[in-house]
């Protein structure tokens, strides 16, 4: 299921008016706000416009869809004679001319060196040539000879490879999504140059590989992003064959994608998105799904097949609920990108750009308020992404996105949104993201429902321990920390934040496609939206290792605890405090319990803790890149029994700030660090937080069952208590806080009882149905 090419195919432009077979894009007029100044008719319900096409009767909606699809696919809103469009279009034309001149149809290939089936490369070349025909400024715009060459190539390929009755060889995705998508798009772009007999034969071939029954059941490989792609192919097939019933099927088959799910693939109420049943996947599959839906919404609006399912609001809500939390300064965090993390350097920035592109296109069919917020958000990403600037990196297939992004960057009426401070706990996908002034962190865990890692198609073969509590973090200026050949050069046994057995593992250990779930159920935590307590009952990957890990996310620190670390693998067990891709100087003072990495941040440990360090150059990947690393770790020894650790991570801290925090051991007080409970109190913040692995008490808090509890005293005589059931198993929970409380100011629907006075006792009902979500009660202190 190689999805690399899907992103560029579905990252499409906006709708523009044309009056001929070849779109007249080159001289779009713009108003003062940079928008197209075409004659437009308001589209009811969206406040947007539908486009009129001279010479095409409104009574022929499929013909309108054909032109609309071509407009959206080709991109609009730019001046083809202005830079950078002129250069990029000329480059596309030169590449297409090269493909045209080199094409040499033979029984076993269309181009020398690309033997059949070559489902990806061959069909992508045909599509690129068709784009050069349809787009302005390529030097081949409207070139009938080029279009005839594309038509001949499509038919040659259809006869010898993609033929009705032929069998699938290799990955199903190429036959049912990748190849038909490219072939159909190319066919629509060249219009009547693909004659009716040839178009009919192509349609029959697509029907063979993607029959309508493929959309009957929402399961297997027809869910989530795959389902959206299959619907895109079905719609293109309907447009090619002027089949209104098939167009209706393409739209109706989207409906299972929209509702929230509680298991398997799809959107979750807490903001999680999962594909392949056990893999958090906003970064690739999710981005593809968002882009595909944004495209379909734009193409179909105002037509008889407009997507009107009321549950489609889930998609609009996902922009800020599901995707934005995992995008940091324009880069999509690798913790939600599955096996795609190591495909190429700066892939996280590419995925972030794909999400941004989809969001701006989706904004064309969103409400005005949503569109305004999203534009400000994307503008902020673009301005802060100095490592891989979005405009510079936009590819030739990104011309529509480039035009939309340029418009909002040039529009002073669109304010750039900053990184929103706060915590997002995506419990159903075992992920957490924390933002505070000057830094951001992301946490990746594994549970009985989320795999340790995903490998497949030969990708991510050494991602074994990414679910063992990998803690990513970015301070100012470090937006490329995990971008620049990190995954091909880092030591895969020493990923930051993880506790691992050093037992050697083969490439691709464990089942493929994310089927690597451990048995641990207590994975998650509680957050009040600003701070969080997060925990993981860790069962090591392909190991006897067991441990209890907790993270307490605060304003300028993450307090990290580990307890009951036990293994019988006959090898050392390590907790990796950090592993930074840098050559920066490291200073360590074990006697005073601190370490500082210049330009990155600080670390505080109990005095006398032996912190192991290593500075090394590592080389890896196809490009044989060499990168510098500084690694800090704790050695728990061979086959440890109930080992533990305590340390503070201080992202972005100076040397002086690190020393000062180490000199104040009471700043964070450890209340418990055992296999039964882990908790801390931070008096200066009014924070008390405990992960109860079992019932019991820690400090002033007690719980009747396993749960997570976060207390925050506000300093104004009020406090909030936030609880959760990470195991999703409790019918009832009682939490006691040994503090005088005068009364409950704000309850919760699941709060069934509250006793105030010398101490507070809260009783909650069925938390099991809350998906591990947080539940907050506000009280007045006595």
CA separation for the pair 680, 696 (Å, rounded): 15
Q: Is the Cβ–Cβ distance between 350 and 483 less than 8 Å?
A: no
3-state secondary structure of 767: helix
Nearest by Cα to 315 from 337, 293, 344, 339:
293
Nearest by Cα to 675 from 761, 561, 563:
563
3-state secondary structure of 112: coil
The pLDDT, as a whole number, for residue 7 is 27
The pLDDT, as a whole number, for residue 654 is 98
CA distances from 96 to 127, 138, 372, 600 (A): 9, 9, 38, 46
CA separation for the pair 122, 292 (Å, rounded): 22
Cα dihedral 639→603→688→473 (10° resolution): -90
Using a 10 angstrom Cβ sphere, with 0-12 exposed, 13-18 middle and 19 or more buried, the burial of residue 552 is buried
- The pTM assigned to this predicted structure is 0.92
CA distances from 639 to 546, 566, 634, 673 (A): 11, 7, 14, 20
Helix residue ranges, H only, 104-161: 121-134, 144-160
Using a 10 angstrom Cβ sphere, with 0-12 exposed, 13-18 middle and 19 or more buried, the burial of residue 34 is middle
For residue 459, the number of C-alpha atoms closer than 13 Å in the C-beta half-sphere is 17
Residue 591 in tokens? 């006697």
The pLDDT, as a whole number, for residue 56 is 63
Residues 6+ apart with CB under 8 A from 224: 257, 265, 266, 273, 274, 275, 285, 289
H/E segment holding residue 94: helix 85-102
Distance of CA 494 to the CA centre of its chain: 24
CA separation for the pair 762, 238 (Å, rounded): 58
Angle at 439 between CA 484 and CA 556, to 5 degrees: 140
Residue 124 in tokens? 């992508």
Residue 26 in tokens? 């080159």
Tokens 């996310």 appear where?
553
Using a 10 angstrom Cβ sphere, with 0-12 exposed, 13-18 middle and 19 or more buried, the burial of residue 148 is middle
Q: Report the catalytic residues.
A: 226, 276, 285
3-state secondary structure of 66: helix
Q: What region, left, alpha or beta, does residue 449 occupy, with left being phi > 0 and alpha being psi -120 to 50 degrees?
A: alpha
Helix residue ranges, H only, 211-336: 224-241, 244-252, 287-300, 313-318
Q: What is the 3-state secondary structure (H, E, C) of 208-227?
A: HHCCHHHHCCCCCCCCHHHH
H/E segment holding residue 373: helix 368-384
Question: Which residues are registered as beta bridge partners of 489?
Answer: none
Q: What is the mean pLDDT of each run of 10 residues along the chain (782 residues)?
A: 30 29 33 31 35 63 88 81 93 97 97 96 97 95 98 98 95 97 97 96 98 96 98 98 97 98 97 98 97 96 95 98 98 98 95 97 97 98 95 81 94 96 97 97 98 97 98 95 97 98 98 97 98 98 98 98 98 98 97 97 94 97 95 98 98 98 96 98 98 98 98 97 98 98 97 97 97 97 94
CA separation for the pair 403, 89 (Å, rounded): 14
Q: Is the peptide bond before 117 cis (omega within 30 degrees of 0)?
A: yes
């Amino acid at each position: 299921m190689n999805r690399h090419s899907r992103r560029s195919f579905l990252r499409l432009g906006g709708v523009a008016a044309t009056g001929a077979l070849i779109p007249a894009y080159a001289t779009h007029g713009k108003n003062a706000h940079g928008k197209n100044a075409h004659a437009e008719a308001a589209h009811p319900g969206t406040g947007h416009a539908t486009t009129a096409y001279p010479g095409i009767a409104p009574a022929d909606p499929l013909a309108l869809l054909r032109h609309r699809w071509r407009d959206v696919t080709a991109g609009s809103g730019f001046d083809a004679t202005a830079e950078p469009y002129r250069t990029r279009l000329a480059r596309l034309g030169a590449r297409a001319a090269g493909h045209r001149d080199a094409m040499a149809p033979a029984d076993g290939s269309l181009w020398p060196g690309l033997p059949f089936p070559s489902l990806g490369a061959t069909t992508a070349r045909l599509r690129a040539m068709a784009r050069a025909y349809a787009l302005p400024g390529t030097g081949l715009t409207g070139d009938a000879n080029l279009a005839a060459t594309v038509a001949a190539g499509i038919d040659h390929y259809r006869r010898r490879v993609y033929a009705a009755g032929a069998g699938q060889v290799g990955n199903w995705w190429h036959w049912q999504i990748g190849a038909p998508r490219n072939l159909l798009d190319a066919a629509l772009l060249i219009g009547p140059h693909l004659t009716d007999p040839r178009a009919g034969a192509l349609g029959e071939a697509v029907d063979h590989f993607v029959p309508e029954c493929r959309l009957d059941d929402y399961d297997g490989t027809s869910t989530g992003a795959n389902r959206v792609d299959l619907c895109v192919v079905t719609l293109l097939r309907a447009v090619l064959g002027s089949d209104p019933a098939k167009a209706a099927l393409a739209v109706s088959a989207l409906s299972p994608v929209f509702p929230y799910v509680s298991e398997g693939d799809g959107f979750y109420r807490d903001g999680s998105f999962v594909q392949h049943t056990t893999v958090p996947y906003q970064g690739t599959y999710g981005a593809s799904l968002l882009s595909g839906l944004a495209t379909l919404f734009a193409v179909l609006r105002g037509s008889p097949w407009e997507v009107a399912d009321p549950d489609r609001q889930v998609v609009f809500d996902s922009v800020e609920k599901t995707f934005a939390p995992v995008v940091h300064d324009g880069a999509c965090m690798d913790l939600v990108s599955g096996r795609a993390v190591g495909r190429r350097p700066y892939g996280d920035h590419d995925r972030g750009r794909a999400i941004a592109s989809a969001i701006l296109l989706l904004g064309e069919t969103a409400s005005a308020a949503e569109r305004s917020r999203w534009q400000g958000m994307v503008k902020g990403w673009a301005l802060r992404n100095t490592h891989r600037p979005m405009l510079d990196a936009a590819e030739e297939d990104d011309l529509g996105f480039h035009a939309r992004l340029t418009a909002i960057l040039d529009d002073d009426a669109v304010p750039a949104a900053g990184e929103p401070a706060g915590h997002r706990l995506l419990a159903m996908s075992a992920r957490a993201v924390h933002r505070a002034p000057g830094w951001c962190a992301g946490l990746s865990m594994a549970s009985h429902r989320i795999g340790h890692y995903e490998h497949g198609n030969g990708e991510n073969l050494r991602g074994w321990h990414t679910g063992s509590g990998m803690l990513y973090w970015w301070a100012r200026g470090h937006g490329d920390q995990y971008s620049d050949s990190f995954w091909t050069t880092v030591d895969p046994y020493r990923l930051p934040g993880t506790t691992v057995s050093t037992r050697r593992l083969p490439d691709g250990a464990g089942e493929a496609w994310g089927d690597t779930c451990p048995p641990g159920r207590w994975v998650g935590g509680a957050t009040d939206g600003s701070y969080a307590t997060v925990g993981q009952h860790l069962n090591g990957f392909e190991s006897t290792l067991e441990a209890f890990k907790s993270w307490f996310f605060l304003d300028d620190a993450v307090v990290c605890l580990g307890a009951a670390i036990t293994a019988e693998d006959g090898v050392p067990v390590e907790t990796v405090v950090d592993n930074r891709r840098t050559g920066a100087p490291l200073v360590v003072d074990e006697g005073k319990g601190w370490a500082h990495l210049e330009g990155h941040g600080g670390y505080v440990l109990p005095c006398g803790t032996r912190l192991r360090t290593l500075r090394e150059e590592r080389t890896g990947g196809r490009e044989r890149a060499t990168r510098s690393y500084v690694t800090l770790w704790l050695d728990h020894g061979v086959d440890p029994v109930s080992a533990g650790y305590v340390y503070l991570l201080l992202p972005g801290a100076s040397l002086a700030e690190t020393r000062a925090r180490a000199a104040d051991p009471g700043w964070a007080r450890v209340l418990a660090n055992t296999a039964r409970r882990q908790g801390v109190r931070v008096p200066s913040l009014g924070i008390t937080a405990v992960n109860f692995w079992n019932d019991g008490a820690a400090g002033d808090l007690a719980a009747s069952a396993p749960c997570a509890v976060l207390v925050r005293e506000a300093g104004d005589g009020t406090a909030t208590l936030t609880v959760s059931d990470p195991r999703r198993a409790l019918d009832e929970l009682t939490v006691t806080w040994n503090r005088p409380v005068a009364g409950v100011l704000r309850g919760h629907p699941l709060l069934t009882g509250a006793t105030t006075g010398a101490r507070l006792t809260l009783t909650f009902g069925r938390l099991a149905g809350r998906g591990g979500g947080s539940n907050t009660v506000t009280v007045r202190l006595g």
